[in-house]
Structure 1
Amino acid sequence: MFSVLISVYRKEKPEFLKESLQSVFSQTLPADEVILVEDGPLTNELDSVINEFEQKESTLKVVKLPQNMGLGSALNEGLKFCKNEYVARMDSDDICFPERFEKQISYLKSHPDIDVIGSWTKEFYLDNQGNKVITSLKRFPHSIWENFKYCTKRCPVEHPSVIFKKKSVIDAGGYQHCYLFEDYHLWARMFVNGAKFYNIQEPLLYFRMSDESFKRRGGYKYAINEYHALKTFKKIGFLTNKEFYFALITRFPVRIMPNCIRKIIYTKFLRKK
């Protein structure tokens, strides 16, 4: 028994949302409820996609927020409606492998001490003909508990690939305001709380990429928000002073460099072809 938690807002493309929901409702192990949070009023096109799935999928439950609250707040609201202890995250533009939930839930059943389980992801974009082009494989270490140094340098799990224990998330304070870093902020607090993480060593999610994806990871605004996030990590004991300054020195130049160079760094050095 597990829930799926998704948030969507008006700037999402309806065709992406449709493909994402299709992958969720085509699993070899289906969820007994899918909580879809509408983060503020949507477009008519997005409403049409959601209405289509509401009519044919009885497990879909839609939570409507009167105004846009941002991802962290929207997920907190949706979490209140999840009745199960295990909650699978999913983004409204990514695509699950058909066996994703079955493999993750199977591992969790045999390893009840795990609080968060993620997987590797395949990053992709659509070409001019609408074909899926795989650009790289994003890998994560299996046991984050045994690879603490990794998660002080990089986010330890891919947010839309995880299934987590609802209680462990709530005990860590849930999603909190940390603009652009809501997920990493949550993982850091959970880690300090003693939560255990694991990544299945194979891809179970297609993660959508574009040039905009790399642009969103740069610029002075992003750099300043990352600085505040790292400062919070140091304050709660997730980072030492040395790790804090090392993160600043290695990350800040990447954030302010031209997008074309940042894209090369991500695709050539931080990913596996």
Structure 2
Amino acid sequence: MSVESPRISVLLPVYNGASFLAASIESILSQSFEDFELLILNDGSTDDSAAIARTYADERIRYFEHPNMGLAATLNKGAYIARGEFLFRQDQDDLSYPERFALQVAYLDKHPDVAVLGTWARIFVDGDSAVTYRYHRHPTTHVAIAFNSIFDSTFVHSSVAMRRSAFEAIGGYSCDPLRQPPEDFELWSRMCRQYRVANLDKVLIDYREVTSSMSRVLREDFSQRMLRISIENLRFWLDGSPFAMFSERLASIFRLDGLLPTQATDKPMIDLTLNQLGQTIGVSRDVHNWEYIHELQRIRHRLMRNYWLGRSRQIWVRLAVKVVFRVLKGLHG
């Protein structure tokens, strides 16, 4: 273990996280893999976060604070001052399991072509006295992740490990207000275009779901940014094909939840464009990838649901469409 050149730099951004920060820090310090530095990045907190962070005397911790500048800029600052080969993420209210770092480093060492590696996560709701768990079990293979990441994020941000060289080469997180939040989805979108990515099929982090998350507080603005990034992704993957002209329409059908009026010509467009996307991403080299097939079915299901909702103006017809597609989703998983 080297304090000056650790293998891992853990980026832990903090903004008014006093309630959960100690547990989060301790989950990092309890890792079985010890060759890391922990960068605690206080983004202008006004609570007791600073005092809590300063109580730890572990030589692997480096503490920084600055006026509030947002998550993307804070993470970019952390990456700039990081010393490690790998950048690991953790949020102030999440908990890493003790073997997380060891398993991710082992995978990255074995797969030098993989630039981004996430894990599965257990989700619990903050403040729920009767805790019931849900899980993020995202696809694990590059083809399935890259395909899904055209439309939505396929990583638990707090679980991700990245090669610092790839992060720097791609320019880090975008601080463009039209693209963040969701700064993570925007970054994964660019990563998938240039590098191979993966998820470990193990639950290695507890993810706290809070009602004050940005995706809930700024739901309309968040949705518009997701739409914008999806359009950019489609234009990239369809570049040079006759289906590129459908990028905005396909993304809008997917993201606008049936509010976009559709027409009969949209139905064949959906299937033909999805087929082209699969070929571009490389499904032909991985034809037995069941994860890709599952993601394709899931995305097509949502597109066709929204297509039929867009064709229906009467309330009772729209209700019937929602019921039918809910049943179909239950049948196919």
- On whether the aligned pair clears a TM of 0.5, the verdict is yes
One-letter amino acid matched to 2:37: E
Q: Does 1:37 align with 2:35?
A: no
Counterpart contact for 2:119–2:156, Cα < 8 Å: yes
Give the 3 Å change call, closer, same or farther, for CA 77–213 of structure 1 in structure 2: closer
Q: Which amino acid aligns with 1:192?
A: R
TM-score (norm 2): 0.68
Please, what is the CA RMSD of the aligned residues? 2.7
| C-alpha distance 50-232 of structure 1, shift in aligned 2 (>3 A) | same
Query: Between Structure 1 and Structure 2, whose CA radius of gyration is higher?
Result: 2
Partner in structure 1 of residue 249 of structure 2 = 245
Please point out which of 146, 154, 157 is paired with 1:159.
157
TM-score (norm. length: structure 1) = 0.81
Measure the CA separation in 2 of the matches of 1:94 and 1:79: 20
Partner of 1:258: none
Give 2:295's aligned residue.
Answer: none
Whether the 8 Å contact between 1:39 and 1:74 is mirrored in structure 2 is yes
Between 163-172 and 135-144, the greater mean CA deviation after superposition: 135-144
Q: After superposition, what is the alpha-carbon deviation per residue over 1:142-187, rounded to whole angstroms, capped at 9, x for unaligned?
A: 1123553222232121111011001101111111122211111111
Determine the C-alpha separation between the residues in 2 that align with 1:25 and 1:235. Answer: 43
1:12-39 deviation line (CA, Å, top 9, x unaligned): 3x12111111111111112421111111
Q: Does residue 1:5 correspond to 2:11, yes or no?
A: yes
Q: Which moved more, 1:175-184 or 1:210-219?
A: 210-219
Instruction: Indicate the SS of the match to 2:225.
Output: helix
State the shift of 1:234 in Å. Answer: 4.3
Task: Select the structure with the greater relative contact order (CA < 8 A; seq sep ≥ 6).
Answer: 1
Q: Secondary structure at the match of 1:15?
A: coil
- The answer on whether the counterparts of 2:36 and 2:84 sit within 8 Å (CA) in structure 1 is no
Tell me which amino acid in the other structure corresponds to 2:9. S
Counterpart of 2:79 in structure 1 is: 79
Output aligned runs, 1:161-180, within 5 Å: 161-177=159-175, 178-180=179-181
Secondary structure of the residue aligned to 2:114 is coil
Q: Check whether the contact 1:140–1:156 (CA below 8 A) recurs between aligned residues.
A: yes
Rounded Cα–Cα distance in structure 2 between residues aligned with 1:145 and 1:232: 18
Aligned residues: 249
Letter in 2 for 1:51: R
Deviates more, 1:42-51 or 1:240-249: 240-249
Secondary structure of 1:62 counterpart: strand
**Do the aligned residues in 2 keep the contact of 1:3 with 1:31 (CA within 8 Å)?**
no
Q: Which amino acid aligns with 2:58?
A: E
Unaligned runs of 5+ in 1: 256-268
Change (3 A) 1:243 1:101: farther
The 8 Å contact of residues 8 and 36 in structure 2, kept in 1 or not, is answered as yes
**Higher mean Cα deviation, 182-191 or 239-248?**
239-248
Residues 244 and 169 of structure 1: CA distance in aligned 2, closer, same or farther (over 3 Å)? farther
What is aligned with 2:105? 105
- With 154-163 and 217-226 compared, the bigger mean Cα shift is at 217-226
